[in-house]
Structure 1
Amino acid sequence: MVKRDLYRNILIGLIVVLLLAVLRIFVVEPIRIHNDNMAPILPKKTHILAMKRSKIGNLDLVAYRHDGKKYVGRVIGVPGQSVIAMDNIVYVNHDILKEPYITANQNKYLLTHDDDFTTDFRVDQLPAKTYWILNDARDVKEDSRRFGPIKAKDILGELEFRYAPISDFGFVENDEAKLENGYENN
């Protein structure tokens, strides 16, 4: 009786470990935020799951890899779109991008700086399978302004579920800006 229970428990343990390994390899990528470049939505020391999927749209929060390091940011432009920033205003396909998620960071920055919060850049058309990704804290330029367009193969997944700190446990709310810009179907 005891021997049979032991074998059953070992089998259940192996199945759980195998299931977790499959989920980690094909479905989720755990990410730990190490800086405040996406605050206040994703502050430093947040632990979040990136859901691996093939369709990434405008204003999605994503994790990506560049030169062996992991970064997080917001997709501003998708393949085929033009993305331009001039005088702190971002244009996607020549339409002004409404960015309520940067207001707090921008106001704080402009109180102590005379230069632009969002440095000027111009991408006339993003190549196939590339994305333009920016930080919400635009004074941190470790994003597409420094790296250029991010290849689709380097995107680890969309940031969707926070699991730490426990006070912020749950899904990441990111629909306001998408609705405001007409991207709700992405």
Structure 2
Amino acid sequence: MVKRDLYRNIIITLIVVAILLVLRFFVLEPVRIHNNNMSPILPNKTQVFAMKATKLENLDLVAYRHNGKKYVGRIIGTPGQSVVSLDNVVYVNQTVLKEPYITSNQKNYLKTHDDDFTTDFRQDKLADKTYWILNDARNIKEDSRTFGAIKKKDILGELKFKYAPISDFGFIENDEAKLENGFEPK
């Protein structure tokens, strides 16, 4: 009786471990935010899960890798689109991008600085499987303004769920900006 219970518990444990490993390697990528480049939506020390193999669209929050280091940002341009920033206004395919997610960061920055919050840039038609990614805190320029377009193979996944700190536990809310810009939320 005891031997049978021991075997059953070992098998259950192995099944649970196998399921967790499959989820980790094929579905989820844990990401820890190490700076305030996506504040206030994702402040420093927030821990999130990135969903692998999702269809990437404008304004999705993503984790990506550049030169072996992980970064997080917001997709501003997708393959085939042009992205331009001029005088703190971002245009996607010559249409103004409404960015409610940067309002508080921009106001705070402009109180103490005379230069542009979003530095001017121009990215003509993005190549296949490349994305233009910007931080919500535009004064932190570790994004496509420095790295150039990010290849799809370097994107770890779309940020979907916060699991730490426990007070922020839950899904990441990101539909408001998509709706304002006429993009269909997933």
Normalised by the length of structure 1, the TM-score is 0.99
- The alignment status of 1:119 with 2:132, answered yes or no, reads no
1:40-51 to structure 2, matched below 5 A, reads 40-51=40-51
**Aligned-residue offset at 1:54:** 4.0
Distance 1:101 1:40 in 2: 8
- The alignment status of 1:164 with 2:164, answered yes or no, reads yes
- The alignment status of 1:181 with 2:178, answered yes or no, reads no
Q: Tell me the secondary structure at the aligned position of residue 104 of structure 1.
A: helix
Q: Which amino acid aligns with 2:113?
A: H
User: Could you list the per-position Cα deviations for residues 129-172 of structure 1 after superposition, in whole angstroms to 9, with x for gaps in the alignment?
Assistant: 00000000000000000000000000000000001111111000
State the 4+ residue runs in structure 1 displaced beyond 2 angstroms.
none
Q: Which amino acid aligns with 2:112?
A: T
1:24 aligned partner: 24
Aligned residues: 186
Identity of aligned residues (%): 75
1:99-178 to structure 2, matched below 5 A, reads 99-178=99-178
User: Could you list the per-position Cα deviations for residues 104-147 of structure 1 after superposition, in whole angstroms to 9, with x for gaps in the alignment?
Assistant: 00000000000000000001100000000000000000000000
- The question of whether the paired residues in 1 share the 8 Å contact of 2:54 and 2:158 is answered with no
CA RMSD of aligned residues (A): 0.8
Distance 1:185 1:23 in 2: 24
1:57 aligned partner: 57
1:79 aligned partner: 79
Q: Any unmatched runs of 5+ in structure 1?
A: none
**Aligned-residue offset at 1:185:** 5.1
User: Could you list the per-position Cα deviations for residues 26-83 of structure 1 after superposition, in whole angstroms to 9, with x for gaps in the alignment?
Assistant: 1000000010000000000101000012410000000000000000000000000000
Normalised by the length of structure 2, the TM-score is 0.99
